[in-house]
Structure 1
Amino acid sequence: MYLFKTKNDLNAFLETYKKEGKKIGFVPTMGALHDGHLALVTKARIECDLVVASIFVNPTQFNDPKDFEKYPVTIDQDILKLESAWTDVLFLPSVSEMYPEGINAPHQVYDFGYLETVLEGAYRPGHFQGVGMIVHKLLDLVQPTRLYMGQKDFQQCMIIRKLLEITGMPTELVVVPTKREPNGLAMSSRNMRLSPEEKALSIALYNGLNEIKQNFNQQPISELTMLVSNNLQSIGFQVDYVSIVNSETFEVLDEKIDGKMVGLIAAKIGEIRLIDNMYLN
């Protein structure tokens, strides 16, 4: 596996592949890798000629500075995991490499519309602008054929789909199903910060989504979401939202529709904020 820390070095390496029309698969990450990330690499490995991964903890997408400071960093283990998954290239830039003008310098503002006003957008103001900024920079650099992201961050995937539309980039977004622990807990880098007791309680998010799915045809949306929210609060979670959305438009729903619907949860246990989602029909 090749490792590059500067944009110039990475660009020089990729130039030949781009000129030859090779399919480049790109997996952007913030490190603290787990099997969910490796599932993205494996998918890219099957579908593309070259697999590029990046590790960059992006400061502009953290609306809580404490969350940024405590984000787990496990570079040595991450490199070994990427090598074991047959990643071809790892891009490991510094903050100054990605933001030479500084993170507070004026930057492009993306019109993500409704997507940025609800759920994660409402609870994490500025987060998706930061995501858009760094993904745009990385896509400009790598110019991948396909971009691989996990379904766990469902709203973020919708944001990136909108980013590709705004920028006119020809990259195809591939969303890979959420990888889960044996008990159903969605794999997440933040799980590393959970105590054993918190981790045991955290399967309640997955159980709540399953409860919504199993009773979806029998109960109104408002009853289902309130029940799951109350259950989570009763065991110590601080709930941001339990919602159901249209999977295509991301409209938050009060009533069921004919199209595909997704249930989403965000809740905090101790200091750790977790998210999860599930297709309901």
Structure 2
Amino acid sequence: MKVLIIEDELAASDNLAYLLQSIDRNIEVIAVLDSVKASVDFFSKPHEAELVFMDIHLADGISFEIFERTSIDVPVIFTTAYNQYALKAFKFNSIDYLLKPIDKDELADALQQFKIQNSEKSIDDRQVKGLLDLIQTERKNYKTTFLVGLRDQLIPLKTDNIAYFRIDTGIVKAITSDNKSYTVDEKLEDIEKELNPENFYRANRQFIIHREAVVNLKAYFNGKLIVEVTPVCDERIVVSKAKASEFKEWMEN
């Protein structure tokens, strides 16, 4: 099987190529492309690719632009870090995807499904439009302002000014970049759904943090991470081993 990888992170493309070879020695990676432009050029000419692994965010744009500028006539499996709007779009449009960092067993399952199903099945214009429509809709609906408690008042607080949300003695607090604390009359689970996942991450049960608030990450026992933020928090923010790789991927993207 001849495979094309579209990925702008060298470590990620090398890892995927390694996993593919370890699963099936007959798989040949014919090229690794890192941009929308290079991908459009590739598909504008005759090619031998039988299956494409495609990251969403590329060096010069979002990979969905490729479908708008050229015809891709082979199956595509998207690779993506956890992203709520993207996953919803994939599921709704019946498009295959793998979460990064890619798990070998899940990759093997995806390859098996590719072989079982019609190998000539490719993404059509309807699916691409569905992806773009859902993503654009989700982006527009993210909350930009919270009404927060200040003594006997409710005041508007811009989401961009919030460094992190935390649960403090059972009460949800929004901590701003200038280290002010406000009470938010919502559950942390509901707040998570209202935030843009590109900017905010649910680190654990007690914290949702803005990427701009992250100062550094420290290795902790059993593969966990400690996240140091600004303003400084008086409680240690720990990311579990299960979410550590996902969190680092989110930070890099």
Scaled by the length of structure 1, the TM-score of the pair is 0.27
Scaled by the length of structure 2, the TM-score of the pair is 0.29
Higher helix share: 1
Higher strand share: 2
**With CA pairs under 8 Å and 6+ residues apart, which has the higher RCO, 1 or 2?**
1
